[in-house]
Structures are given as structure tokens and as C-alpha cells.
Amino acid sequence: MMQIRLQTCISTITLSKQIVAIVSITFIIISTVVLTLNTLPYFSNRDSGDHEKDYPPFALLEAIYMSWFTFEFVVSYDGRKQSTKICKEMTTGLIFT
């Protein structure tokens, strides 16, 4: 019975959801690698005032994956807000019928 439910759940996942999941996991891996490499002295940049600056390619990657995480958070929040509203409407409809 559990196997049938799992197969049904997996088969209902659309291609777009799979692509978003793969992109999200890829950004998580990239962010971990970039944040780790950014701590190495080899990638340390200092300006004339002896202030540490981010390595430019890492700064660009960080901006990209942080934008993705922010977009993902906003979309999931909006989805939860809409699903809560739909559930409340359904519950209200069930109560009054």
C-alpha cells in the first residue's frame, strides 16, 4: 500500500518541478563550495587600505545563488499563503453545506 502511494506521488511530479528541484540542489552545492573556497588564503584579495575584498567570481556566484534562494523563498511563501486561503474557503464551504 505504501509503495503504491509513493509511486503515485512520484508520478505526479511534473518536469518543471523536477527541474526546479535540480536547480535548487545545484545552487546549494555551489554555495557550499564557494563559501568554503572563499575562506582559503589563495583567494584572499586586499585593497590599498588593507581591507579584505571578495574574490570577484565568487561575489558574482554568491549574488546569483542568493537571488535564487530569495526568489524560491518568496514563491514558496506566496504558495503557502494561497493554499491556506484555499483550505479556509473549502472548510467554510463544508461547514455551511
In a domain, 63, yes or no: yes
Q: Which residues span the domain enclosing 71?
A: 14-96
**Residue that wins the pLDDT comparison between 91 and 59:** 59
Q: What total number of domains does the chain contain?
A: 1
Per-residue model confidence (pLDDT) at position 16: 79
Q: Is the pLDDT of residue 88 over 70?
A: no
Query: Mean pLDDT throughout 6-26?
Result: 74
The Cβ-side half-sphere exposure at 71, using a 13 Å CA radius, reads 10
Query: Mean pLDDT throughout 32-50?
Result: 82
In a domain, 47, yes or no: yes
Q: List Cα–Cα distances, 30 to 18, 39, 52, in angstroms.
A: 18, 15, 22
Predicted structure pTM score: 0.61
In a domain, 89, yes or no: yes
Per-residue model confidence (pLDDT) at position 28: 92
What letter would DSSP give residue 14?
-
Q: Is the pLDDT of residue 35 over 80?
A: yes
